[in-house]
């Protein structure tokens, strides 16, 4: 299998697996237990929390463990909405956000909140002037994805945060596709809330975190789950200790190998993209330069992406977000960028990772060229 769907999920790094295994077998204690066994586990969880906090330059007390980015997003958006509704009921986000943000915002609309879904330019970037004009006195939160999961487009997060704060609102970002690939410093960038998942950075599924600023200003959230007061009351439930240990190890490895991985993966991505764009009737979706180095999204005009995926038996690529793949419809991200339904349905996302090789790239290029050639029996 040539796996080029790392934005969907990543394999577990063997070193991450080795780090978490003892906490699945021998060190199985509940970190909230008061006995000696439980307190040993609790100490290790505190160390892991500190590692993860250091990775994004936050305080340990600002890290809330969740089951993943989707839960973190729900806690943040709903928690802010309830906590700050005395200030206002207006929230701003972007039309190209992940469904975890869009669907949660739609749920808040049903509860009486007003949400503005900002459009984006054809290259996938947000118009900052339009953002500034959209922020009102009753705007309590602006949520903008750091790196788009389908196109890899990177938004100017620091500048966005500055605009939002100048207007007196809070700023949140879904950094799921950024963390582990590029440096993310919540202090430098001015982020108030940040969400991410472990399984996008070589840790297992079922673990993620929410950063909630508390150091220079306290961001208040109304808890959405109750039952024990875990995670400073924001996320009750027994902690996923093996997952937490794994996430900390993944952050440690990323901090050590990020530069090396970037050089390797970007070269593979560029080679893949260069060869695929030689094929007739192809075009790149998204900005050419302001994007993450592991992702390319290409339209094969006149083709059906789902048919291509189905015929690539030993190759894993995507036609959009894995979280939306059960619904057969054009990508909302590509549609927001101005693509027609047909062109959106003809587009493939290729997302590479540190275990890919040049052989993977060659196989993908060769296979897609065969499938898209006019004379091909598969076309």
Residues forming the active site = 323
String of DSSP letters for 222-257: --S--SS-TGGGTS-S---HHHHHHHHHHHHHHHHH
Between 69-83 and 99-110, two packed helices, what is the crossing angle to 10 degrees? 30
Task: Output the six-digit token pair for 45.
Answer: 């969880």
Q: How far is CA 126 from CA 88, 171, 247, 372, in A?
A: 24, 15, 31, 33
DSSP-assigned states of every residue in 173-236: EE-TTTBTTB---HHHHT-SEEEEEGGGTTS-TT-EEEEE--SSSPPP---S--SS-TGGGTS-
In the 8-state DSSP scheme, what is residue 330?
Answer: -
Orientation of helix 358-372 relative to helix 241-276, angle to 10°: 50
CA-closest candidate to residue 308, choices 289, 334, 287, 282: 282
Collapsed DSSP state (helix, strand, coil) of residue 322: helix
Cβ contact 250:13 at 8 Å: yes
């Amino acid at each position: 299998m040539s796996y080029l769907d790392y934005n969907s999920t990543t394999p577990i790094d063997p070193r991450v697996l080795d780090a978490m295994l003892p906490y699945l077998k021998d060190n199985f204690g509940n970190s909230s237990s008061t006995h000696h066994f439980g307190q040993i586990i609790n100490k290790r969880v505190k160390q892991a929390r500190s590692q993860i906090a250091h990775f994004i330059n936050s305080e340990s007390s600002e890290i809330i463990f969740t089951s993943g980015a989707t839960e973190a997003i729900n806690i943040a958006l709903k928690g802010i909405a309830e906590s700050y509704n005395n200030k206002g009921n207006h929230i701003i986000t972007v039309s190209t956000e992940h469904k975890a943000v869009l669907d949660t915002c739609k749920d808040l609309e049903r509860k009486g909140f007003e949400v503005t879904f900002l459009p984006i330019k054809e290259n996938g970037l947000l118009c900052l002037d339009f953002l500034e004009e959209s922020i009102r006195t009753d705007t309590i939160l602006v949520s903008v994805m750091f790196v788009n999961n389908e196109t890899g487009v990177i938004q100017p997060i620091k500048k966005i945060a500055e605009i939002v704060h100048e207007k007196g609102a809070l700023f949140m970002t879904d950094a799921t596709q950024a963390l582990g690939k590029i440096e993310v410093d919540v202090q430098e960038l001015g982020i108030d809330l940040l969400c991410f998942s472990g399984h996008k950075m070589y840790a297992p599924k079922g673990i993620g975190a929410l950063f909630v600023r508390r150091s220079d200003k306290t961001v208040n959230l109304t808890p959405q789950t109750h039952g024990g007061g875990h995670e400073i009351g924001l996320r009750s439930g027994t902690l996923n200790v093996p997952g937490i240990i794994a996430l900390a190890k993944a952050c440690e490895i990323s901090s050590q190998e990020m530069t090396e991985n970037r050089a390797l993966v970007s070269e593979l991505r560029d080679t893949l993209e260069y060869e695929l764009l030689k094929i007739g009737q192809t075009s790149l979706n998204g900005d050419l330069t302001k994007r993450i180095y592991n992702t390319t999204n290409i339209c094969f005009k006149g083709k059906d992406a789902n048919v291509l995926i189905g015929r690539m038996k030993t190759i894993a690529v995507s036609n959009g977000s894995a979280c939306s793949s059960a619904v057969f419809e054009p990508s909302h991200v590509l549609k927001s960028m101005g693509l027609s339904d047909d062109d959106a349905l003809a587009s493939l996302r290729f997302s590479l990772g540190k275990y890919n090789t040049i052989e993977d790239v060659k196989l993908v290029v060769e296979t897609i060229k065969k499938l898209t050639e006019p004379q091909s029996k598969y076309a």
